């Protein structure tokens, strides 16, 4: 569902939803699906976004539909879902059994579970983001949000009617888009706070990196070759004599070579670096003088006759030329490290404060089953 609730990429990839304060005591109120540090995510909010997700999914499956029709599978019995699937299920091939209601119910359950899991993750993480912004005293004004929306709409939907069509296809309202963009701006401000100052890399730090990783800034020697590869030594010697007599590489390579990559190109093998070829040929190649016919050289692939037609000397990029790219690279690494560290603590903190009602539990809930992997993705910390 990651795409179904994030289709309005021009206006951001997040939605912040209205939440209410829950009574103390840690239990999830009857009209809610989860609580996050005293704030509830209500069933009405969950149901709204399940409908949005269903419509967006239908739009993806039927791109030509201007107002895709979709309904959320009616758990737990799925009677309506089964009936709808029965109408759209093709008749079985001759001799094949008809799809049973039990099989259709399984499909409905899988569809519902997929939507439910994604919507719950989305709602919980949106609430985490709002709670973190409140904790860090990060805010955005309604004016900022509207200005950002207007700019994005102008770029993505020059014709206002197209924006209305988008809303119809996505199942969103303009209020949903407003919440979405508010969340995007909050995330940007939190990210800026976390990474502030992490883009500063001194010349000494860049120099130390350059000294330690000089090979990254080196270009090895390369040689251009013309080759003939044969299955046996006698054929290789025959090809070599023909070349020595003045016959062209184009003629000899096409006549004798079994190397399909080069035989129709006059045996040309350009830009070969040391270590790219089988060892015997590699050693001979980089020991040979330019313009001298060499071979036959025995390898596991056969016998080579070759000459070196060009040599590009190895070079080393200077620190002064590499400095800017090194500083940029280190700045990005520093920012990523800061975001990773923040993301780990962020998820651990807010997950520990998230209770989910039975039947709505996801990995973001503190009462989720223990998983074998606790890997956290930085990009998902505030999404």
Radius of gyration of the chain (CA): 32
State the pLDDT at residue 91.
Answer: 86
Give me the residue spans of the domains in the chain.
9-196+353-380, 221-313
Give the residue ranges of DSSP H helices in the chain: 43-61, 79-88, 101-135, 142-156, 160-170, 174-195, 203-212, 233-244, 249-256, 279-287, 319-351
Dihedral of alpha carbons 277, 279, 284, 287, sign: positive
Taking the whole predicted model, whether its pTM rises above 0.85 is answered as no
Q: Residue ranges of the chain with pLDDT lower than 70?
A: 1-26, 64-68, 371-383
3-class secondary-structure state, position 319: helix
> What is the C-alpha to C-alpha distance for residues 130 and 185, in angstroms, rounded to an integer?
11
Rounded CA separation 350/370 (Å) = 16
| CATH number assigned to the domain covering 221-313 | 3.10.50.40
B/e letters for 25-59, b = 16+ CB within 10 Å, e = fewer, are eeebbeebbbbbbebbbbeebbebbbebbbbbbbb
Cα–Cα distance between 226 and 268 in angstroms, integer? 4
């Amino acid at each position: 569902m990651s795409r179904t609730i994030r289709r309005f990429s021009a206006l951001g990839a997040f939605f912040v939803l209205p939440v209410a304060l829950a009574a103390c005591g840690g239990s999830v109120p009857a009209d809610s699906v989860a609580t996050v540090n005293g704030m509830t995510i209500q069933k009405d909010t969950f149901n709204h976004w399940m409908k949005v997700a269903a419509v967006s999914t239908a739009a993806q499956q039927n791109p030509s539909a201007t107002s895709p029709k979709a309904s959320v599978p009616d758990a737990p019995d799925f009677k309506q879902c089964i009936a709808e699937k029965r109408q759209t299920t093709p008749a079985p091939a001759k001799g094949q059994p008809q799809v049973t209601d039990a099989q259709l119910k399984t499909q409905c359950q899988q569809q519902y579970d997929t939507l439910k899991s994604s919507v719950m993750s989305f709602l919980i993480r949106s609430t985490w983001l709002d709670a973190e912004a409140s904790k860090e005293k990060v805010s955005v004004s309604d004016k900022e949000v509207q200005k950002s929306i207007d700019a994005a709409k102008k770029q993505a939907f020059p014709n206002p009617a197209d924006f209305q069509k988008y809303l119809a296809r996505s199942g969103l309202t303009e209020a949903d888009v407003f919440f979405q963009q508010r969340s995007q701006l909050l995330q940007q401000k939190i990210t800026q706070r976390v990474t502030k100052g992490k883009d500063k890399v001194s010349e000494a730090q860049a120099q130390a990196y350059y000294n330690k990783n000089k090979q990254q800034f080196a270009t090895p020697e390369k040689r251009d070759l013309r080759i003939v590869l044969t299955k046996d030594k006698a054929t290789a010697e025959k090809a070599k004599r023909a070349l020595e007599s003045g016959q062209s590489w184009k003629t000899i390579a096409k006549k004798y070579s079994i190397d399909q990559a080069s035989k129709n190109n006059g045996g040309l093998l350009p830009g070969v670096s040391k270590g790219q070829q089988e060892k015997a040929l590699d050693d001979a190649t980089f020991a040979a003088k330019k313009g001298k016919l060499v071979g036959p050289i025995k390898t596991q692939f056969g016998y080579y006759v070759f000459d070196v037609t060009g040599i590009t000397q190895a070079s080393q990029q200077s620190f002064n030329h590499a400095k800017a790219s090194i500083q940029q690279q280190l700045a990005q690494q520093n920012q990523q490290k800061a975001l990773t560290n923040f993301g780990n603590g962020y998820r651990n903190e807010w997950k520990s404060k998230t209770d989910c009602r039975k039947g709505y539990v996801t990995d973001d809930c503190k009462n989720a089953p223990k998983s074998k992997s606790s890997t956290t993705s930085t990009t998902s910390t505030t999404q």
